[in-house]
Amino acid sequence: MLFQIQSKNTLAMKYRKVYFDEENQKVRWTMNATDDIDVKYEYLGTMSRVEMDLLVEVLWELYGDNNITFLEFAKIFGDLRTFCDQLKRITS
- pLDDT score recorded for residue 92: 66
When pLDDT is averaged across residues 77-86 and rounded to a whole number, the result is: 94
pTM of the model: 0.77
pLDDT at residue 6, as a whole number: 44
Distance CA(85)–CA(77), nearest Å, equals 12
DSSP-derived secondary structure for the chain: ------GGGPPPP--EEEEEETTTTEEEEESS-STTSSS--EEEEEE-HHHHHHHHHHHHHHHTTS---HHHHHHHHHHHHHHHHHHHHHH-
| pLDDT single digits (tens) 24-61 | 999 988 877 656 666 688 999 999 999 999 999 999 99
Is the pLDDT assigned to residue 1 strictly greater than 70? no
| DSSP at 33 | -
Mean pLDDT score of the chain: 84
